[in-house]
Amino acid sequence: MPRVRFVQQDGSEKSLEVGREVSVMLAAVRNGVPGIDGECGGCLDCATCHVYVDEEQTSSLPQPSEEELELLSAVSGERRPNSRLSCQLKVLAPLDELVVHVPARQS
């Protein structure tokens, strides 16, 4: 089963098995990963699921939609080139593990 590794600001990590059809945000919320709120449930309305994708993996993911890019401009934490909304991310083949870094704040 594919995995997502969540890395916190203090360097602590949590690795979860995640089905390929489950978003990274949903996996985080269901498993109590701190720092990912997902307030809107994944309908691109809150930007509280912001993460930084591991820089070496950004090119392995589909590009963000216009809607995601627009909402990324409203994130509370620092926006970076590897910023993504985790409700829009899944661990797609051929990736077996996705590494995301949790920002300092979501709101």
Residues that bind ligand FES (CB under 6 A): 25, 38-40, 42, 44-49, 71, 85, 87
**Min separation Cβ 29 and ligand FES, Å:** 8
**Min separation Cβ 59 and ligand FES, Å:** 22
> Closer CB to ligand FES, residue 71 or residue 99?
71
> Closer CB to ligand FES, residue 18 or residue 49?
49
| Structure-block tokens of residue 76 | 């509370």
> Closer CB to ligand FES, residue 39 or residue 55?
39
**Min separation Cβ 103 and ligand FES, Å:** 13
> Closer CB to ligand FES, residue 48 or residue 99?
48
Residue 106 neighbours by CB distance under 10 Å: 19
Write the CA distances from 103 to 1, 3, 20, 77, 85, integer angstroms. Answer: 26, 19, 23, 6, 11
Q: Report the Cα 56 to chain-centroid distance in Å.
A: 15
Cis previous bond, 94, omega within 30: yes
